[in-house]
Structure 1
């Protein structure tokens, strides 16, 4: 959420190179809507393809692996679909382009590259640093060294 002070920082007051023109915003909106339709089509096609005739154990094993992979892909597609819908909703409410962590303008280049992003690059990096600290760098906790041995 933005504060009253941050509300004063409208895109009009941002460097003209950074501010997004209405045409650019429309371009992003069109791109997001197109991506949303593509994902919905893929999800519908995936659901239709899930009916298999099972033969022997090898067939069953291969089908099981395919279903596991398809389930993973489908969950990622559903997550991306929700991100796109959220971005379109933020466009409608006028909150699109503003970092949810800092309240600052995300930046045109980042928005063009990742149109569904909610965070500025700095906020994203900080969030990743916190996540790495919480789980330990490289998947190791802070109480172990890289060989997996507990520190003294």
Structure 2
């Protein structure tokens, strides 16, 4: 699917679409573009981190050295979270390709445009996610 055939719309236009248009070509194109943009941003951040970590600065003061090491550790933790998100983004893009995007993995119900705008990698409807979280709290899963 190319974006030339399907125009990308705004969030407001997306939210204003009737329910029967759920996950039509226009909506799928919107979310594909959003997911691809997020993916590009994460990959760019990873490249910046690689460059940043390669820059070795010899700092004689132990306090300054500790600060730099802590900054590097924080940056690496952030990139690790982004690496996990990248995997979810790629899975969501695959779901768009196979026609499963926007539908709850547990119930088969629509996840909802508003929820997907807030979390484009969502795989569960709000109700199914709440049930799962409640179960995790109750049983410590």
Question: TM-score per shorter chain, which class?
Answer: 0.7 to 0.9
CA contact (8 A) 2:35 2:120 kept: yes
Matched, 1:57 2:62: yes
CA deviations on 1:80-134 (whole Å, 9 max, x unpaired) are: 1111111000111111111112222212222233221111101111111122223
Please state which structure has a larger fraction of its residues in helix: 2
Count of matched residue pairs: 121
Matched, 1:26 2:29: yes
Q: TM-score, normalised by structure 2?
A: 0.77
Q: Which has the larger radius of gyration?
A: 1
Q: Which residue of 1 aligns with 2:101?
A: 96
- Determine the C-alpha separation between the residues in 2 that align with 1:99 and 1:116: 11
CA deviations on 1:14-33 (whole Å, 9 max, x unpaired) are: xx525233112101111111
Gaps of 5+ in 1: 1-15, 137-152
Q: Which residue of 2 aligns with 1:110?
A: 115
